[in-house]
Amino acid sequence: MDAKTIRDVDVSGKRVFLRADLNVPLDDGRITDDTRIRASLPTIVNLLERGATVVLASHLGRPKGKVNDALRLRPVADRLSQLLGRQVRMTGDALGPGVKVALDKLRPGDLLLLENLRFHAAEEANDPDFAASLAGLADLYVNDAFGAAHRAHASTEGITHHLPAVAGLLMEREVDALSRLLKRPARPFHAVIGGAKVSGKLEVLTALLSRCQAVLVGGGMANTFLAAKGHELGTSLVEEDQIGNARRMLSEARRKRVRLMLPSDAVVAPQIHQRASTRTVSISSVPKDQMVVDIGPETLAAYTEHLARARTIFWNGPMGVFEMPQMAGGTNGMARFLAKRFRAGVVTVVGGGDSVAALEQLGLAARMTHVSTGGGASLEFLEGKSLPGVTALLRADAAIDVTGEKA
C-alpha cells in the first residue's frame, strides 16, 4: 500500500482513534458471523502492545441518524472481550461528556469502544464539525475499515483533515490483495460472479470483461442473462429492466472474446423455504410454477473444469440460496473447489458478505489467498474507482512524518 501504515509511526503513549468495520450481522442481538471482528484483531492488538490508548469506533447497520437499541454495539464489545481475553469497556454515545469521562480514565494499553457512529446523522453526512469533534478524541487516526472505505463519512474521510492518518493492517492487506488483481494478476484470470441481481453489479461486470479471460455467472443474476437469451424461467427472479444490459454484456463479451458462461442446468423449487422440495432440470425446462434456486451439478462441473485452467480466480456472490441446505450445492461446491485450487498455488480472492459467510460455514476461509471483508468496497475497487477512505489516507500521508506528527 502506498500510504503509511501503523508500522511507520510511533504510537507509544498516543491516543489513537481506530476506525474499524465491526458491522456484523445480528439475529435477535446475537452475532451470526464475527469475521469482521476477528479481521480487526491484528491492528487492535498491535496498537495495544505498542503502548497506544485505543479509541475504537465503528458503525452497525443503518439506524439513519437515530438511536436504535437493536443496533447498539454491546454484542460487539462482548465478542471483542472474549477474543482479546480482557474486558472491553464502551460508551453510551460516540461523543459527549460521558465519552470525555471515560477517556480520562484510560491509560496506555487500554481500549475503549464508542457507541454506533451512525446514531449521529452527521456521520454519514461527513459533517465537518462532527469530524473535528471525533478528531478531538485522539492524537492519531488509523483507518482499518476497508468495508466502509467506499463511503466519504466523517469517520472515514472528514477526520483525516484534522489528524495525522495512517492505515491499519487489515486496510493494508485488502488494498494490496485487490491491487494485484488490477495491476498484475497471474493469467488466465477468471471471475465467478453470483448474487441476486445484475443491477447491483453492472459496473464490476463491465470492468471484469476488460480484465478477465472468462466470467462465470451464477445466482439469481444468471436468470436475467438467461432471459436475455430467450429462456423461460418460471417464477424465478428476473430483472426485466436489466435484460437490455444483459444483452449488451453478452455482446461485449463476444466482441472482447471473453468467455461469459451461464448455467446449463438448475436446481428448482416451488418456493424458498427450509422444507421446500427441490429437483434438478435443464435450464431450458424450468417448470412454470417453479423457480431457480441454485446452479445444477452439470453447471458446477462445467464451471470448475473451466476454472481449473485459471491461475487467478476472483469470486463474489453465491451460486444459489445457500442459506437453505438443499439449495447450497453450487455455492458449497465452488467454495470447496477454490480451496483445492489455492492448495495448488492458484491465487483465490473472495469478496462479498454472502460468499465469505459460505466459506466461514464450511471452515474454508483460511484456505483462500485473500478473503475481503468489504463487499461493496471490494467491487468498487475492482471497478477502478477511487475509494474515499483510501484516497484520504494517501492525501494525509504527505502531511505526517514517521513519528505520527503533523509535518
Q: What are the pLDDT digits (tens) for 271-283?
A: 999 999 999 999 9
90, containing H or E segment = strand 89-90
| Confidence at residue 284, expressed as pLDDT on a 0 to 100 scale | 96
- Whether residue 352 lies in the annotated active site: no
Q: Which of 353, 375, 389, 404 is catalytic?
A: 353
Placement of cell 458446477 in the chain: 300
**Tens digits of residue pLDDT in 97-119:** 999 999 999 999 999 999 999 99
pLDDT at 389 over 90: yes
381 lies in a domain?
no
350 lies in a domain?
no
Q: What is the pTM of this model?
A: 0.90
| Confidence at residue 397, expressed as pLDDT on a 0 to 100 scale | 61
- Whether residue 197 lies in the annotated active site: yes
Q: How confident is the model at residue 399 (pLDDT cuts 50, 70, 90)?
A: low
- DSSP letters along 244-304, please? HHHHHHHHHHHHHT-EEE--SEEEEESS--TT---EEEEGGG--TT-EEEEE-HHHHHHHH
pLDDT at 156 over 60: yes
pLDDT at 403 over 70: no
- Whether residue 288 lies in the annotated active site: no
**Tens digits of residue pLDDT in 37-75:** 999 999 999 999 999 999 999 999 999 999 999 999 999
**21 and 167 fall within a common domain:** yes
Domain that holds residue 320: 187-310+312-345
Q: Which of 219, 329, 333, 376 is catalytic?
A: 376
358 lies in a domain?
no
Q: Which of 197, 311, 336, 395 is catalytic?
A: 197
- DSSP letters along 132-172, please? HHHHTT-SEEEE--GGGTTS--TTTTGGGGTS-EEE-HHHH
Q: Tell me the backbone φ, ψ of residue 248, rounded to 5 degrees.
A: -65, -40
Cα–Cα distance for residue pair 7/169, rounded to 1 Å: 9
**40 and 115 fall within a common domain:** yes
**78 and 34 fall within a common domain:** yes
109 lies in a domain?
yes
Mean pLDDT of the 383-404 span: 76
34 lies in a domain?
yes
| Confidence at residue 347, expressed as pLDDT on a 0 to 100 scale | 97
Q: Residue 75's domain is classified under what CATH number?
A: 3.40.50.1260
Mean pLDDT of the 190-214 span: 93
- Whether residue 195 lies in the annotated active site: no
4-18, 121-135, 385-399: range with lowest mean pLDDT: 385-399
| Confidence at residue 407, expressed as pLDDT on a 0 to 100 scale | 47
How many domains does the chain divide into? 2
Long-range Cβ pairs for the range 75-82 (8 Å, 24+): 75/24, 75/26, 75/29, 75/30, 75/31, 76/22, 76/24, 76/31, 76/37, 76/113, 77/113, 79/24, 79/31, 79/34, 79/37, 80/37, 80/44, 80/113
**141 and 289 fall within a common domain:** no
**157 and 266 fall within a common domain:** no
| Confidence at residue 45, expressed as pLDDT on a 0 to 100 scale | 98
Q: Which of 36, 72, 79, 118 is catalytic?
A: 36
**94 and 236 fall within a common domain:** no
